[in-house]
Structure 1
Amino acid sequence: MVTEVTSPADDPTFRTAVARQLDSFVADQRGLLTEVDPAVGDLVQAAVDFTVGGKLFRPTFCHAGWLLAGGSPAEPRIAAAGAAFEWLQGSALVHDDLMDGSDTRRGRPSVHRDFEARHVAAGAVGDPEQYGARVAILLGDLMLSWADEHFRRAEPDARTARLWDACKSEVVSGQFLDVLAQTRETVDVASAMHVIRFKSAKYTIERPLHVGAALAGGDDTLLSRLTDVALPLGEAFQLRDDVLGVFGDPADTGKPAGDDLREGKRTVLVARTADVAGDAHVLSLLGRPEGVDELRDLIEASGALTEVERDIDRLVAQAERAIAVLGDEAAEVLDPLVDAATRRVR
C-alpha cells in the first residue's frame, strides 16, 4: 500500500483553522449587512456558497511561506491571512466567470447565471442577464473588500501589507492582459506565458509564499529564493489548468469539457496549436461552441498537448532545483505541494 505524502503546510488543522476564520468573519458580516436590509443576506450567502469546495491552494502556499520563515503552525495570524486569500480568490473567480461567460463553477451555476435564474424564477421586472451581471460585479467587489478586511486580522506590518497589495494589483494587470490578448488577430506562446505569469503564477503561488514568509519575519533573501520556486511552479500550475480546461473530466473539474475553448481562452495550448495549424484557422474555431470538438482534436493532432506536457515537466524540474537550494526543510514542505499543483485532476 502506497502512503500519500502530504505537506505540513496542508495540515488538516490549518484547513480547519481557515474554515473557522471564514465562518467567524461571515457571522460578523451577516449581522452587519442584514441590518442594512434583509435582502443583502442573499449576497452574503452567495459569497459563502461560492467559497465552499475550494482547493485552498493560496492559503496552503501562504502557510508554507510562514513555516519556512519559522512561523508557529498554530498561530491564528497565518489562518487569518490564508482566509483573506480565499476571499481574494472568490472575488477574482466571480469576475472572471462573468468576463468569460462561464455557466458553471465547481459543478454549480456561476454567480451571474445563478442570479439570472433567480430573476426569472421570481418573475422580476427587467433584463435577467443584466441583473445577474450586476450582482456578480457587486459580489466580486464585496469579497475583495472582505479580503482586505480579513487580512488586517493577520496584523501585517507595512512590508507584508505591500506584498499583499502587490498581489491584488498584479492579478488585475494579468486579467487585463488576458482581455487585451483577445483583441488581437494572432496568438503566440510568449504572450500567453506572459499572461500566465501575472494572472496566475504570481497570484497563486509567489505572493502567497511571500506574504506568509514576510508575516513570520522572513528576510528578502528567503523571499527571493521562494520566487525561484514559485514562478516556474505557478506557470506549471496554470498550464495544468489549461489542459484540464480542455481535456478534464467534468466530474472532477466541475465545468463542461472544452469549456476553455468554448469561452475563447487564448491559452498556451491554443498558441502552440496555432504555431502548427495557423492563427486564422485556430481563431476561427476558438470561442464557438460548434468548433470545440474540432479544435480539441487539432490540439492533440498538432502535438500541442504533448508540448505543453513537456512544458509542465520542464517547469516542475526548474522549481524542484530551486527547492533543493532551500534545503531539506523546504523540500518537506514544498515537494508535496508541487505534485498537488501540477499532477491534479481538478
Structure 2
Amino acid sequence: MANDAVAGDALRVASAGPAEGDDPVRAVLAAYTKDLVTAVDDTLAGFLASEVDSMTEIDAAMGGFAATARDCVLAGGKRVRPTFAYWGWHGVVGRAEPVTPVLPALAALELLHTFALVHDDVMDASATRRGRPTAHVAVAAQHAAAGHRGDSGRFGETVAVLIGDLCMVWADRLLAHAAVPPARLLDVRRCYDQMRVETVAGQYLDVLGENDPATWSVDRALRVARYKTASYTVQRPLLFGACLAGVAADAPLIAAYTRYGLAVGEAFQLCDDLLGVYGDPATTGKPAGDDLRTGKPTALLMLARQLARPGQRRALDRAGADVGDREITRLAELVADTGAVARVERMIDERVAEALTALDSAAIDETARTALTGLATAATHRRS
C-alpha cells in the first residue's frame, strides 16, 4: 500500500491544484491507492465470476442478467468508498496488519455504490453514466434489438431495478467473507446497515425536493447532501473502516472521523452540484446542465434563486427538460452572475478546513493522516 513518500507526493499534487488537463482526484487517488484499487477490483472480479456462474446454472438468461450486473460494477469508477474505508482502517492499525482479511468488506462498499447508482439513474432518467449508457438504457436497447414484445423502456427500467437489488444482495454476501472476529463483524454490520438507511433517506429527500421545490431551502439541500452523499461516501466508510479495526463506538476517534467525514462528504456533494452545471461531459461522463433541465433543488441552484434579482429568478424558473443547449449555457452564466458559484466554492473550502481541523485532533497513523488530508482536497476540487 501507499508509503510515506508516495503519500507526500500525492499531497503535493493536491495542494498545488490541477494542472492543465489534469483531474487532481484521479492523481491523488492513483498515488495513494493504486495497489488498493487493484486489490479491490481483483476481489470484486473473483467474487462476481463465481456469482455469475452460479446464476447461469439457474438459467442461461439469468447468466446474461448477472453478467450485466457484473459489468455495471466493474465499469470504472474511482473506488472512493473503499478508499476512505481503507484509510479509516489503516489509521487505526497502521502498517501492523495486512489488508487481505478486510478486502471483502472494502469491496462490498463498491457493490453498495453500484446499487445506489443504478437505481438513481432510473429515478433521474439519466442516459449516461461514466461515459456509457446507463443500465436501464442499455438493457432497453438490447430488448429493442432482440425484437421482444412490450415497451423496451419499461423493460429496461424494470431490469435495472433488479440489477440494483442484486448488487445489494451481493454486497451483503461479500461483506460476510471478511476474515474478522464474529463479534467485530456484527459491529461492522451495524455501521453498514446505518449507512444503507441513511442512503435511502437521502435519496428519498432528493426525490421529494424535485417534486416539491416550493418547500425546499438551502438547509434542506444540505441535508440531502449530508445523507445522500456524505454518509455513504465518506463518513460511514471511515467509520466502517474503524469498526473493521475494532474501534469502539464511543472512542474519540469515532467523533473525529464523523466530523471529518461529514465535512468532506458535504463538500464532495457541493462539488457535484457545480459539476452538474459546469462539468465537461467528456470528463464527468454525464451531459452538462442536467440539474438545470430538471430544476433539481441543489444547494447551488437554491442559493442562485435566493441571491437572484427578480428577472434572474424568473429566468431560472423557466428552466425545464425542453430547454436547448444554448439556453442551458445562458442559465449557467446567470447562476454564476448571482454569486451562487462563488458562495458554493467558499462553502467547499470552509468544509475542507473543518475536516482538516478534525484530523489534527485524531490519534491516527501519520501516513493515514497525510492520505486523508490529500483526499479531502482532491475529492472536493475535481472535474468528475
Range into which the TM-score falls when normalised by the shorter chain: over 0.9
Q: Given the alignment, which residue of 315, 323, 334 partners 1:289?
A: 323
**Corresponding residue of 2:238:** 209
Q: TM-score, normalised by structure 1?
A: 0.94
Deviation at 1:315, TM superposition (A): 0.7
Give 2:114's aligned amino acid: G
Match of 2:185 among 157, 161, 164: 157
> Any unmatched runs of 5+ in structure 1?
none
Measure, in 2, the Cα distance between the counterparts of 1:43 and 1:185. Answer: 37
Residue aligning to 1:22: 44
Q: 1:126 to 1:83 in 2, by over 3 A?
A: same
Shift of 1:17: 1.4
Corresponding residue of 1:340: 378
Task: Find the counterpart in structure 2 of residue 4 from structure 1.
Answer: 10
- Which whole-Å CA distance do the structure 2 matches of 1:7 and 1:87 have between them? 19
Match of 1:317 among 353, 366, 375: 353
Aligned with 1:231 (options 262, 268, 271): 262
Mean CA deviation greater in 28-37 or 332-341: 332-341
What is the rounded CA distance, in whole Å, between the counterparts of 2:118 and 2:142 in structure 1?
17
- Aligned pair in 2 of structure 1 residues 294, 63: CA closer, same or farther (>3 Å)? same
Three-state SS of the structure 2 residue aligned to 1:165 is helix
Query: Separation in 1 of the partners of 2:369 and 2:66?
Result: 39
Residue 297 of structure 2 aligns to which amino acid in structure 1?
R
Report the more deviating stretch, 215-224 or 322-331: 322-331
Structure 1 residue runs of 4+, over 6 Å off? none
Gaps of 5+ in 2: 1-7, 12-27
1:245 deviates by 1.4
Change (3 A) 1:182 1:8: closer
CA contact (8 A) 1:201 1:230 kept: yes
Given the alignment, which residue of 55, 66, 71 partners 1:49? 71
Distance 1:336 1:74, change over 3 A: same
Superposition deviation, residue 257 in structure 1: 1.3
CA distance in 1, matches of 2:349, 2:138: 38
3-state DSSP class of the match of 1:218?
A: coil
Q: CA deviation at 1:287?
A: 4.5
Q: Judge which range, 219-228 or 192-201, deviates more.
A: 219-228
Q: 1:276 aligns with which of 303, 307, 311?
A: 307
User: 2:89 is matched with which residue?
Assistant: 66
Q: CA deviation at 1:15?
A: 1.5
Per-residue CA deviations over 1:317-336 (Å, capped at 9, x if unaligned) read 11111111115725223111
- CA shift, 1:226, in A, is 0.4
Equivalent position of 2:247 in the other structure: 218
CA spacing shift, 1:26–1:95, aligned 2, 3 Å: same
- Which residue number in structure 2 is paired with residue 172 of structure 1? 200
CA contact (8 A) 1:247 1:258 kept: yes
Q: 2:25 maps to what in 1?
A: none
Output the TM-score relative to the length of structure 2: 0.85
1:135–1:8 Cα change, 3 Å: closer
Contact preservation (8 Å) 1:66, 1:78: no
- Supply the distance in 2 between the matched residues of 1:303 and 1:171 (Cα, whole angstroms): 30
Name the aligned partner's letter for residue 68 of structure 1. G
Cα distance in structure 2, aligned partners of 1:263 and 1:19: 34
Does the aligned pair in 2 maintain the 1:91–1:144 contact within 8 Å?
yes
The match for 2:20 is none
CA contact (8 A) 1:97 1:110 kept: yes
Separation in 2 of the partners of 1:12 and 1:57? 12
Q: Aligned residues: percent identity?
A: 42
1:125-144 equivalences in 2 (<5 Å): 125-144=149-168
CA separation of 1:16/1:73 partners in 2, compared to 1, >3 Å: closer, same or farther? farther
Distance in 2, Cα, partners of 1:323 & 1:8:
22
Aligned AA for 2:316? V
8 Å CA contact 1:101, 1:263 repeated in 2: no
Aligned to 2:220: 191
Deviation (angstroms), 1:114: 0.5
Amino acid at match of 1:43: F
The Cα of 1:228 is off from its aligned counterpart by 1.0
Cα distance, 1:8 vs structure 2: 10
Partner of 1:86: 110
Deviations 1:16-39 (A, max 9, x none): 211111011111101110011111
Q: Measure how far apart 1:286 and its partner are.
A: 4.4
User: Which amino acid in 1 is paired with 2:338?
Assistant: S
- Secondary structure of 1:55's match? coil
Q: Is the 8 A contact 1:62 1:209 kept in 2?
A: yes
Alignment RMSD (CA, Å): 2.0
Amino acid at match of 1:21: T
